[in-house]
Amino acid sequence: MTTRAQASHTYDAIVVGSGISGGWAAKVLTEGGLRTLVLERGRPVEHIKDYPTANLAPWELPHGNRATAQDAADSPIQSKLYLYGQDSKHFLVKDVEHPYNQVKPFQWFRGYHVGGRSLLWARHCFRWSDLDFTANAREGVGIDWPIRYADIAPWYDVVERFIGVSGENAGLPQLPDGQLLPPFEMNCVEAHLKSRLPQVFTDRVLIASRCHVSDFFERRQMAGMLDCSGRRRSFERLPRFLGDEEVARHRDCGNCHHYRLQS
């Protein structure tokens, strides 16, 4: 290999996998000016083009959007995932094609493509607290966490600001406050329950959930603006957060290079 070729294939960092962890690592490294190589075993995912069910209404999905007997036979593990359906199964592997040995029962939900499981999640964004990080030491089980909430709190701030998280800061020790957008408005029944609950249970509270506000239309709603329901529908089944478009954005900066690993 020539000196010039060596230079073109020399990297400051190599990231294996382009899921949430790998995708975020590549983002931070490239934004820091490091020449970064991302290795991904799965297929590329082209924004819009590779979302075959994105514009289908629920009643247009086959089999009532439920797993069929053939799905269960092909993917006995993946089909148990709460979000498995005809609208999402193309982002999960077939277990018959990707078997693994289970010494103990272990359900391994996998998607081999750029973005990984970041394309399949429920958008709930709850911070861990020291009740979680100290649980093992406190209860004498497993291995104590080497970090505490104070170590990771600044990174929670960074991620929440970047992705946009809607929710309510309630000052709860089990759910630390964060960098949140306004919560979604409760309906009349939820609001009534919230007002009545403290009158019956002094140790319980009802708050709005924390969820990733993923697109422009939801952020408009946070600001009190109205959306077109037809345009809104087109975003209902789009994968959320880090995907091929995020990799492409960092690739365009000149520091990130993405290669697919061929089996």
Output the pTM of the full model. 0.76
The predicted pLDDT at position 226 comes to 46
The predicted pLDDT at position 212 comes to 87
Over residues 44-61, the pLDDT tens digits come to: 998 888 999 988 999 999
d(CA 165, CA 173): 19
The predicted pLDDT at position 228 comes to 44
- What b/e string do you get for 5-27 counting C-beta neighbours within 10 Å, with b at 16 or more? eeeeeeeebebebbbbebbbbbb
Q: Give mean pLDDT, residues 254-261.
A: 64
Boundaries of every domain in the chain: 124-213
Give residue 55's Cα distance to chain centre: 21
d(CA 92, CA 117): 9
Over residues 143-155, the pLDDT tens digits come to: 999 999 999 999 9
Beta bridge partner(s), residue 36: 13, 256
The predicted pLDDT at position 65 comes to 96
Distance between the two ends of the chain, CA-based, in angstroms? 24
Sequence-distant (≥ 6) Cβ neighbours of residue 108 within 8 angstroms: 77, 100
The predicted pLDDT at position 250 comes to 56
Q: Among residues 262, 247, 250, 258, which one has the least CA distance to residue 11?
A: 258
Over residues 215-232, the pLDDT tens digits come to: 545 555 555 544 444 444
- Give, in order, the Cα–Cα distances in Å from 182 to each of 15, 36, 186: 35, 36, 12
pLDDT reading at 247 higher than 80: no
The predicted pLDDT at position 231 comes to 40
Over residues 163-194, the pLDDT tens digits come to: 899 999 999 999 999 999 999 899 999 999 99
d(CA 149, CA 238): 32
Q: Among residues 53, 40, 58, 54, which one has the least CA distance to residue 111?
A: 40
pLDDT reading at 214 higher than 90: no
Query: In this predicted structure, which of 37-51, 52-66, 137-151, 231-245 has the lowest mean pLDDT?
Result: 231-245
